[in-house]
């Protein structure tokens, strides 16, 4: 496959290609499929009983504001009766809202100790309240499932320790630590895409193993493209994306480029690790789609695509600020879906299990035919998959026609607590038992140089969901002094 030409992946030559690539990757790195031995109390998958949900994002490099953010509450949107949610700071007003409007009355919450600034999954088993709570429900015999926003080695070791402490089998709903680390690495993902589809399936991408090499690659690409980008490959979304106009480097010496790049990387919080990704930042992008999938165990069927969404991005690093159902032409949506299934089939053969999504861009070309470039894999839950899953749960397993996610930092909004936010939204709020349309607050508002607002609008049409969001923001921006 080249560029936007994506063949059907339901068997045939493409199916053979995915199996052969998986064999090559396993031959090169056998530990991809042999890193799940965490003792007799740990198993990959999902149990029928209680889930322990952890929304902590502290293990994602360069993700700023994690300690103050309330977005870890988003994982609570996936909770079922009897589930337990671990958060960094509790917001009891928000918990009451979830109970009253989304029927989460039987969900329990625990928070980290006061002033805790570590990684929750590394220390949660030392909190007596958690061990006591889990110990009290082990009599059910249905097992326990640990479901984290990002599944890491810390997640698996927490499952091991909790299993040993309670004498109960713990399931981990996510990939092995090694596979998780690989798929969330933008350089590893680009290599997989190149080997599967060809070099033109991503923007031009290079590995910078030190500053000298990275500067030389920037100099080379800046003569051939309008914009270049340096990326810290294991960060998430726009964090660690540093975009440059190529004119910045016109007639500049290698030493200047090295110094300039080094300074910008350090500003992002980079820990001076290599390699880093150096590439072309696509021009004439008219859509930034993502394909959401569930990847089951191989004996439970092939990867299951759940939808194509158009991401709304903003700023030089293309920060995610929302998403809606895709309105791309059918042939492009088919290309995106079949390409995503091919990639996911390779990951499944490597032992990947759980939630996954793939981001892409679609560019205009002089010939008129659009070009599809794959950008990154999100081997975790995220800002689209969580509200998508919630929307389907609330709508009998189907995604409503009107679906709009908003995740924005609004500097113009004055300090806003959860109670005030809910009071202003009032009759706009979705109610699981009484409404088909409305706005859902997907995380408590957080003051971070403005107010971080996270909303989901569900409606019978996309136009209505957009009007709901517009009305919500008009209410939220009312001065607190009025």
Q: What is the pLDDT at residue 8? A: 35
Full 3-state SS string of 11-58: CHHHHHHHHHHHHHHHHHCHHHHCCCCCCCCEEECCCCCEEEEECCCC
Domain 36-175 listed as CATH 3.40.50: yes
Across residues 317-324, what is the average pLDDT? 78
63 has a pLDDT exceeding 80: no
- Domain 12-27+182-280 shares a fold with domain 290-476: no
What three-state secondary structure class fits 170?
strand
Element (H, E) at 407: strand 402-410
Q: What is the pLDDT confidence band of residue 12, given thresholds at 50, 70 and 90?
A: low
What three-state secondary structure class fits 325?
strand
Indicate the pTM of the whole model: 0.92
CATH for 290-476 is: 3.30.470.20
Query: What percentage of the chain has pLDDT greater than the value 70?
Result: 93
Q: What is the pLDDT at residue 37? A: 86
Q: What is the pLDDT confidence band of residue 313, given thresholds at 50, 70 and 90?
A: confident
The tens digit of pLDDT for each residue in 186-228 reads 999 999 999 999 999 999 999 999 999 999 999 999 999 999 9
- Locate 159 and state its tokens: 């499952």
Across residues 88-111, what is the average pLDDT? 96
Across residues 150-154, what is the average pLDDT? 96
Q: What is the pLDDT confidence band of residue 140, given thresholds at 50, 70 and 90?
A: low
Cα–Cα distance between 321 and 406 in angstroms, integer? 6
The tens digit of pLDDT for each residue in 395-434 reads 999 999 999 999 887 877 777 899 999 999 999 999 999 9
Phi–psi pair at 282, nearest 5 degrees: -60, 140
* CATH architecture designation of domain 12-27+182-280: 2-Layer Sandwich (3.30)
Domains in the chain: boundaries: 12-27+182-280, 36-175, 290-476
Helices (H) and strands (E) in the chain, counts: 13, 20
Helices 92-102 and 418-425: crossing angle, nearest 10°? 30
Q: What is the pLDDT confidence band of residue 116, given thresholds at 50, 70 and 90?
A: confident
The tens digit of pLDDT for each residue in 248-259 reads 998 899 999 999
Cα–Cα distance between 271 and 262 in angstroms, integer? 11
C-beta separation of 57 from 66 below 8 A: yes
Beta bridge partners, 304, equal: 294
């Amino acid at each position: 496959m080249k560029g936007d030409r994506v063949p059907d992946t339901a068997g045939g030559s493409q199916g053979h290609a995915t199996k052969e690539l998986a064999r090559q990757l396993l031959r090169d790195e056998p530990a991809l499929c042999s890193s799940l031995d965490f003792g007799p109390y740990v198993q990959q998958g999902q149990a029928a009983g209680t889930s322990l949900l952890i929304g902590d994002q502290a293990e994602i490099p360069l993700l700023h504001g994690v300690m103050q953010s309330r977005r870890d509450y988003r994982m609570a949107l996936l909770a079922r009766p009897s589930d337990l949610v671990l958060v960094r700071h509790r917001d009891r007003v928000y918990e009451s809202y979830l109970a009253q409007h989304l029927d989460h009355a039987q969900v329990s919450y625990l928070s980290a100790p006061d002033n805790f600034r570590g990684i929750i999954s590394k220390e949660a088993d030392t909190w007596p309240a958690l061990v006591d709570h889990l110990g009290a429900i082990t009599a059910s015999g249905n097992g326990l499932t640990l479901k984290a926003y990002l599944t890491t080695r810390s997640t698996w070791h927490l499952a091991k320790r909790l299993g040993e402490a309670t004498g109960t089998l713990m399931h981990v709903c996510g990939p092995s630590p090694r596979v998780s680390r690989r798929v969330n690495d933008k350089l590893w993902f680009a290599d997989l895409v190149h080997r599967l589809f060809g070099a033109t399936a991503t923007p031009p991408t290079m590995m910078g193993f030190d500053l000298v090499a990275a500067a030389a690659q920037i100099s080379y690409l800046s003569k051939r493209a309008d914009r270049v980008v340096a990326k810290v490959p294991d960060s998430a979304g726009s964090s660690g994306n540093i975009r440059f106009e190529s004119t910045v480097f016109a007639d500049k010496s290698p030493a200047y480029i090295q110094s300039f790049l080094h300074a910008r990387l350090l500003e992002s919080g980079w820990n001076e690790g290599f390699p880093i990704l150096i590439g072309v930042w696509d021009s004439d992008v008219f859509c930034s789609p993502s394909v959401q999938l569930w990847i089951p165990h191989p004996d439970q069927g092939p990867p299951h695509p759940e939808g194509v969404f158009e991401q709304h991005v903003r700023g030089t690093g293309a920060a995610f600020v929302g998403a809606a159902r895709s309105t791309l032409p059918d042939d492009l949506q088919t290309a995106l879906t079949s390409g995503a299934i091919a990639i996911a089939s390779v990951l499944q053969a490597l032992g990947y299990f759980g939630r996954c999504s793939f981001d892409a861009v679609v560019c205009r070309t002089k010939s008129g035919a659009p070009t599809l470039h794959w950008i990154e894999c999100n081997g975790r839950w995220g800002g689209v998959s969580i509200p998508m899953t919630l929307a389907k749960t609330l709508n009998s397993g189907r995604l409503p026609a009107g679906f709009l996610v908003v995740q924005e930092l609004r500097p113009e909004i004055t300090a806003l607590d959860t109670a005030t936010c809910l009071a202003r939204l009032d009759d706009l709020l979705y109610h699981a038992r009484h409404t088909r349309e409305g706005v859902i607050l997907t995380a408590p508002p957080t003051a971070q140089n403005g107010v971080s607002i996270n909303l989901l609008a569900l409606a019978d049409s996309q136009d209505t969901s957009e009007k709901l969001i517009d009305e919500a923001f008009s209410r939220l921006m009312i001065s607190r002094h009025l």
